[in-house]
Structure 1
């Protein structure tokens, strides 16, 4: 049995985009044991990926070298007898533990001067692999081979009993269809659709008899609270759930409206129809990986700029993207719950 250790990404969205790699490894090696070394906060994601056997917490934050602690963890992992490590981050530090653990094959893209640490080193040709999911999936193949296509979309499984328990715990109900709104984006404000636009959309949704649930972490509480104040009646779950609970609850949604964020990728992997809002970032590199997704963007001359805050100070890419444009995308995705103005009864 082949034993593979994945050094997984720290970002939620990136962690989800790695799942097709795991599926491909299982297709190539059906009996393989695939474990992941990842930050603790991504554990709920890996627990919902059928291909993963075990998840080990990577306790080292960004910029932390801590060679002694890395050596100690590597010695523990060495006892598990891995045949291969696949490194998804491109940093030098991410290569240290597999090297210290003596894993024979250490696969990854060229990165921060990690020659020798990574002995199955791949040279990336960005034009051939423009999307992050393709770059991850390609690491399952022999060096020089393109990833098997079509690359499947990520999938997160949900336990029915657990999600019902989460629903009961928070006193929520399924009496009316649910619109999941994810107003946060940890990267920065240039990826966040303004609160007043989210609130206008939410008021429209509730006028149609729909529930609106706001999702997010503690970092998203401020914008979620602002939306809740502008749209009385929304269910504000931001900072009220764990990531595991958010996944459970989002799986109940009839449609989701999300910024380009980790929760956008969660919605896509749950196969929830999705309107994905893009401002400073690009759907060309990290699109929502779903057949039921609509990209909503103004595609201005100044975007994508990939900046955390608008370098021009106006953030027109999101300020000028109004609620009716997003509502139109939702109507195309779910005309059964959101009939368009043309088709609406008089």
Structure 2
């Protein structure tokens, strides 16, 4: 059996979208060890084809040369092949320093000497599943990410919040990229109030500590409907809560992709980014995007902030429309096995 090391992407959503590529490698007999930064590692542990997750001890944005060399020495002789998913120079150093014979990746930034099987970078912004899948020789055109968690893990996440499966909603109102990907807090709050009126189920607000102020603002506008858990739940717990939720509403974010990979019914709001590039790949996902509508010919701009300052691509997606999309996603799962 071929022993392979995979250098994982540094973002949660990208790690999820790499799952079909990892599944393809495992299907052809490769035993996979995945090297990942700590905040991404829980996503990889929810992939049964991953035999081992190696936590990378590197500080974000730093070379950490000594630490990198020491880790590489500990990996020498263990692997036959390496797949480098990020396009950075730093990400290709570890397999090279570890002297792994086959090192596969995109050409990236000056990595000619570090990789010995290099793919040309595609033009534009292709779908990310296909982008990563090409490193494994390609994946099926309809491939979609899948994650799984043991029932005991889900039960352990539900017990502290006193909830049962499918008896709550999850909102993920953050997006690290910037405000041009964030649906307005007032819209999230209006939707939370509507769901509370209709179904009397609580809304859990999930996200990182940086996103806690956004969640607090939503909860202040819908105090009887929302419970803020942002910054209070590690990623593995947040994943379990998403897996067991009745439905999820999010921006284009890492947690959006987590929900899709669990098949949880969801409504995903897109603003400056494109669902052609990073779609939630699930039959239970519904995308809301205003390209070609409302006279907005600037979509997608892929900007962090709206250059016009109005954020109409998000503000004009009304809560009622998202509620209808979520209802449709829920109907799509009725009777599904």
The bucket for the TM-score relative to the shorter chain is over 0.9
Q: In structure 2, how many angstroms separate the alpha carbons of the residues matched to 1:151 and 1:126?
A: 21
**Structure 1 residue 187: Cα displacement:** 0.9
1:124 is aligned to 121
Alpha-carbon deviation of 1:159? 1.1
Which aligned runs of 4 or more in structure 1 are off by greater than 4 angstroms?
Answer: 335-338
* Corresponding residue SS for 1:10: coil
- RMSD of aligned residue pairs (Cα, Å): 1.8
1:235 Cα offset (Å): 2.1
The match for 2:196 is: 206
Q: Which string of whole-angstrom CA distances, capped at 9 and with x for unpartnered residues, describes residues 90-135 of structure 1?
A: 11111111001100000001110110210001113337x8211101
Local SS of the residue matching 1:279: coil
The range that moved more, 216-225 or 58-67, is 58-67
Does residue 308 of the first structure (1) align with residue 301 of the second (2)? Answer: no
TM alignment of 1:161-172, pairs within 5 A: 161-172=152-163
- Pairing 1:1-346 to 2, within 5 Å after superposition: 1-29=1-29, 32-79=30-77, 81-126=78-123, 130-141=126-137, 147-174=138-165, 177-209=167-199, 210-233=201-224, 234-299=226-291, 300-335=296-331
Q: Aligned-pair distance for 1:66? A: 2.5
SS in structure 1 at match of 2:70: helix
Give CA-to-partner distance per residue, 1:154-191, whole Å, 9 cap, x none.
111111112112211233345x7322111010111111
Give the distance between the partners of 1:19 and 1:336, measured in 2 at CA.
Answer: 24
How far the C-alpha of 1:253 sits from its partner, in A, is 1.2
SS at match of 1:313: coil
Q: How far is the alpha carbon of 1:152 from its aligned partner?
A: 2.2
Post-superposition offset of 1:337: 11
For the Cα contact (< 8 Å) 2:290–2:317, is it kept in 1? yes
1:88 and 1:136 in contact (8 A); partners too: yes
CA distance in 2, matches of 1:105, 1:138: 16
Higher mean C-alpha displacement, 322-331 vs 13-22? 322-331
Q: Following the alignment from structure 1 to structure 2, what is the Cα–Cα distance between the partners of residues 197 and 44?
A: 30
SS of 1:35 mapped into structure 2: strand
1:52, distance to aligned residue in structure 2 (A) = 0.5
Q: How high is the TM-score relative to the length of structure 2?
A: 0.93
Write the distance in 1 (CA, Å) between the matches of 2:107 and 2:300. 26
**Normalization by structure 1: what TM-score?**
0.91
